[in-house]
Amino acid sequence: MSELKRGKKKRMTKQRKIILDVLKNTKIHPTADWVYDQVREVLPNISLGTVYRNLKVLKEMGEIMELDFGSTYSRFDGNPENHYHFVCNDCERVYDVEMPTNETLVQKANNVTDHDVEEHRLEFYGMCRECRERSTAEG
Ligand SMILES: [Zn+2]
Ligand SMILES: [Zn+2]
């Protein structure tokens, strides 16, 4: 296999598959620490550094997305396709927003700039349902 000779293409190792499965099976957009806790139940000897490295590789492979909202920790998303997110200003939880992405925004941005615009991201902010219900319950 020429792919292996070049040694550039990353393989889906057993560790990476387990990390990917953890991310695909959650909707909470977890931090690396959370992923580490889950993966340790299957691979007790894995280190946090290894989990970090594999998350970076999975991102390079296009299998996952890294979400950087300017908060302390990056969040990871098992869905690598562009989609929109809602971030709660109160609890900082990240939710998927089930609406079609507007790819014409990319075209519009291309038209008004000299840059090669390739993609866009969009985040909504506010108070999530759980926080709203808690605050109304507390009065
Ligand atoms: Zn909230
Ligand atoms: Zn998401």
Per residue in 76-111, pLDDT (tens digit) is: 999 999 999 999 999 999 999 999 999 999 999 999
Cα–Cα distance for residue pair 128/17, rounded to 1 Å: 32
How far, in Å, from the CA of 84 to the mean position of ligand 2? 7
Contact 23, 76 (CB under 8 A): yes
Sign for the CA dihedral angle at 44, 45, 46, 49 comes to: positive
Q: How confident is the model at residue 9 (pLDDT cuts 50, 70, 90)?
A: confident
Strand partners of residue 75: 67
Residue with tokens 């620490």: 33
Task: Judge residue 26's burial from the number of C-beta atoms within 10 Å of its C-beta, 0-12 exposed, 13-18 middle, 19 or more buried.
Answer: middle
Q: Which ligand is located closest to the Cα atom of residue 79?
A: 2
How far, in Å, from the CA of 92 to the mean position of ligand 1? 6
Per residue in 121-136, pLDDT (tens digit) is: 999 999 999 999 998 8
How far, in Å, from the CA of 96 to the mean position of ligand 2? 5
Q: Which ligand is located closest to the Cα atom of residue 130?
A: 1
pLDDT, mean of residues 61-77? 88
Cα–Cα distance for residue pair 120/34, rounded to 1 Å: 27
pLDDT, mean of residues 9-28? 94
Kindly state the greatest CA–CA separation across the chain.
65
